[in-house]
A and B are shown apart, each in its own frame.
Chain A
Amino acid sequence: MHPILSITGVSKNYGKLTALDGVSFEVPAGAVFGILGPNGSGKTTLLSIILDVLHADTGKFSWFGNTPQTNNRKQIGSLLETPNFYHYLSAVDNLKITQAISGRGNSADIDRVLEIVKLSERKKSKFSSYSLGMKQRLAIGAALLGNPDVLVFDEPTNGLDPVGIAEIRDLIQSLAAAGKTIIMASHLLDEVEKVCTHVAILKKGTLLTAGPVDEVLAQEDIVEIAASNNDALQTIVETMGGFSKIKKHANCLQLFYPIGTAQLDGINKYCFDKGITLQQLQLKKKSLETKFFELTND
């Protein structure tokens, strides 16, 4: 089965500034693919290239196993960077233009998506009268027109209040559950971790890692242990070996093992044999935030 999107060696420079440097990865069908990176890491540049708004200097990409074609973009619902609409037109009139250009949906569908993004009551108001959050929701509504199988969202929760953020998260989860492929750039690591199945992390235009979330995060086993006297526990554990590093963390110690090598029962027995009873013993999954900072901090 072809990947939905395949990116190979894409580079983009703005003068001396390298915005993207040989980025390659694939987005499998049905994935919720998060693209993460600090400001200026190249997320929006990458999305702009795959949506044909920017030209790549080198490299190539293909949608649905084909080379770039107009009709490919018509099958993709996209929100790139900011909500872009005609300010003097209403939500309905703007969506009519989106519909006419993309060929996605019909007039009944316009009402459907406006209902989803909760703009039905203001559907005849001019776009210029909308708040930032309403504009963002209209852009999401436009992307949903025609119920496309592939969606590209660049910072979809920008400008939304906490309730709006939760609603969009639920929406993305329901779209993912319906088998849609979603490519999403975001700063909000917690949001991405909640909804994404795959992730790519960019820093200064370079791809640091990409793949299924579990694989990206689980490059190390982290075992958290605690006893009544953590200093004594650390002295004992340091004689045990097997782990790559040890770190004090809040009220416990963290032991870092190569993936799949941590043996909880062995740690427990070793400590017990040395006269220390563990009050905490837990194999922790690394949070996306931890991994993100680990990769992106200099």
Chain B
Amino acid sequence: MFSLLQIEWLKIKKYPAFWAMLIIVLLTYPAANLMFYNVYLDITTQKGTQMLAKMFLGNPFAFPETWHTVAYISSFFVILPSILVIMLVTNEYQYKTQRQNVIDGWTRGQFMASKLMDVLIVSGITTILYTLVAIGFSVYASTFDASKIWEQAYYIGLFFLQTFAQLSIAFLLGYLIKKAFIALGIFLFYYLIVENIATGYIRMKAEKIGGDLGRFLPFEISDRMIIAPAFIGRFGKDIKTAYEKSLAEVPSQIALSLLLTTAIWVLCFFLHRKKDL
């Protein structure tokens, strides 16, 4: 496994798109969180409502809430590493190196394991960036309280799992479609448009179809592992109820994410073993 990791690193470390993605993520995560932080500052510094707002909102960028808030905001940008993952798998088809790697001695299983490594590497790096941004914001936005650092640090694990689950879907698309632009087009169209419309529509029809089945859509499955931060649920009774319901569904969403992600990789390993390269 370690040698697979080393070989994948040889492929990735001089790939310009990898560094471009890293820089964009490095800029996007802090920028997006900064934007939300400024909104929070605006609300909590308005004369007359500042005490009330602070009471409702708390400080979502202080430990331990920062883990949750930053994870939620950063998770909107999984599209950036997804593009990289699609490029990494479609490159292997474009360059025919998926054949060459096997000709040179890998089994088909080893090739697929190496791609799994790629997705793990990208998920890991993204999670590290998220962790640094969450810590950075807490230090920047609040009085640092070391005793609360680890209180909700399980969001690091959830963020990693969510990123890995969603990048695995991106990988599957790239693997099946093989052409970078077509795969990217379908991915963006589905991720940004189709699933959002479907989620909204299903939510609207929830009563008729026996519940909010949108939570079973491919990206929603893992999206709902990290629900909107707690302060959002503190406005109004209905939203609070919905928040608590979403919170109660988190364990089953984690289980579903693990199930879907495992199924994706089992399918990829199976197909790669059976098909001609």
Contacts and interface: CB of A to CB of B under 8 A. Distances in A.
Interface string B60-99: 0000000000000000000000000000000100011101
Interface in A138-158: 142
A97 B95 contact: no
B107 A70 contact: yes
B14 interface: yes
Contacts, number: 73
B14 A53 contact: no
SS class, residues of chain B in contact with chain A: helix
Nearest to B101: A101
A100 B103 contact: no
A84 B14 contact: no
Contact of A100 (B10, B91, B100, B107): B10
A71 B104 CA distance: 10
A87 B10 contact: no
B276 A102 contact: no
Contacts of B217: none
A51 B103 contact: yes
A136 interface: no
B7 interface: yes
A229 to B, nearest CB: 61
Nearest to B108: A52
Nearest to A88: B15
A70 B110 CA distance: 10
Interface string A38-78: 00000000001001111100000000000000110110001
Contacts of B7: 97, 100-101
A84 B106 contact: no
B102 interface: yes
Contacts of B176: none
Given A48-B276, A74-B104, 8 more contacts: A70-B106, A73-B102, A73-B105, A78-B103, A80-B103, A86-B91, A97-B11, A101-B7
A89 interface: yes
Nearest to A69: B107
A55 B95 CA distance: 21
A103 interface: yes
A180 interface: no
A106 interface: no
Contact of B105 (A53, A80, A85, A103): A103
B3 interface: yes
B157 interface: no
A201 to B, nearest CB: 24
Nearest to B107: A70
Given A82-B96, A96-B10, A97-B10, A52 B276 contact: no
Contact of B16 (A71, A85, A88): A88
Interface in B1-30: 3, 6-7, 10-11, 14-16
Contact of B276 (A55, A78, A93): A55
Q: A interface, how many residues as a size bin? A: 20 to 34
Interface string B174-192: 0000000000000000000
A206 interface: no
Nearest to B99: A53
B97 A101 contact: no
B137 to A, nearest CB: 35
A98 interface: yes
24 contacts: A51-B102, A52-B108, A53-B103, A53-B276, A55-B274, A55-B276, A70-B105, A70-B107, A73-B103, A80-B99, A80-B103, A84-B97, A84-B103, A86-B91, A86-B97, A89-B14, A93-B10, A93-B14, A97-B10, A97-B11, A98-B100, A101-B7, A101-B101, A101-B106
Give the interface size bracket for B toward A.
20 to 34
A86 B108 CA distance: 19
B125 interface: no
Contacts of A100: 3, 6-7, 10
A98 B107 CA distance: 14
B206 interface: no
Contacts of A89: 11, 14
Q: Which of B15, B100, B103 has the most CB of A within 10 A?
A: B103
B196 to A, nearest CB: 34
Contacts of A101: 7, 101, 104-106
A74 B105 contact: yes
Interface in B177-221: none
B258 to A, nearest CB: 30
Nearest to A126: B14
A74 B101 CA distance: 10
B107 to A, nearest CB: 5
Interface string B252-268: 00000000000000000
A55 B272 CA distance: 12
Contacts of A80: 99-100, 103
A92 to B, nearest CB: 11
A70 B101 CA distance: 11
B192 to A, nearest CB: 28
For B7, B14, B15, B95, which residue has the most chain A Cβ atoms within 10 angstroms?
B95
Contacts of A85: 95, 97, 100
A53 B277 contact: yes
